[in-house]
Homo-oligomer: A and B are copies of this chain.
Amino acid sequence: MPTATLEPADSIRAAGLRVTTQRLAVLGALENMPHADADAIHRRVRSTQPDISLQSVYVVLGALTDAGLLRRIEPAGSPARYERRIGDNHHHAICTGCGAVQDVDCAVGHAPCLTPAPPAPLPGTGTGTGAGTGDVAGFRITTAEVTYWGLCPACQHLPASHPDKKENA
């Protein structure tokens, strides 16, 4: 039994949290719509729990995120999104046209972004101080986040008719 496909109720319990219908509903919603934002999750959850409020969804999302059951990503210029895929250090490609988010496995295979210090040390000039393992500019790095910005396949074929998203170079 793969650990990642634990029953939602079990994973909630395993995290030391109480199992509630709201939390199950939120996890269930994210099962079908990865990278959804709070509002989308709220709409989806309301189909089974019409009385749940958006604020309660926020509370649930916060609790599940704190417990490590969800990962929260915050693309620049768009509301926070949540995903169930946790535990690996995958990255994200975000469409500047429609805002779609796609998981991207670290294709290089050895988490290069997590340990940016190359085998040969940097010349310690200017901003680049000598870096040890997991150290960047004197920082003790714990996480590296890579976001690719571009056009999704669908938007590549559109005549640039989605101006709702700003492109900051």
Q: Residues of A at under 8 Å CB distance from B?
A: 65, 68, 71-74, 76-77, 80, 86, 90-91, 93, 95-96, 102-109, 112-113, 116-118, 122, 127-128, 130-131, 133-134, 136-153, 156, 168-169
Say yes or no: A128-B105 contact (C-beta < 8 A), given A76-B74, A151-B139, A152-B139.
yes
Say yes or no: A148-B153 contact (C-beta < 8 A), given A68-B169, A108-B116.
no
| Inter-subunit contact B140/A102 (CB<8 Å) | no
CB-defined contacts of A134 to chain B, threshold 8 Å: 150
CB-defined contacts of A128 to chain B, threshold 8 Å: 104-105, 107
9 A-B interface contacts by CB (under 8 A): A96-B142, A107-B118, A107-B136, A116-B146, A134-B150, A138-B153, A141-B148, A144-B149, A145-B147
| Inter-subunit contact A93/B137 (CB<8 Å) | yes
For the complex of A and B, 7 pairs with smallest distance between CB atoms: A74-B76, A141-B150, A107-B116, A138-B153, A143-B149, A139-B150, A102-B137
| Inter-subunit contact B71/A136 (CB<8 Å) | no
| Inter-subunit contact A139/B146 (CB<8 Å) | no
- With both beta carbons as reference points, the residue of chain B lying nearest to A142 in the complex is identified as B150
- Bound Cα distance from A140 to B149, whole angstroms: 8
- Bound Cα distance from A103 to B68, whole angstroms: 29
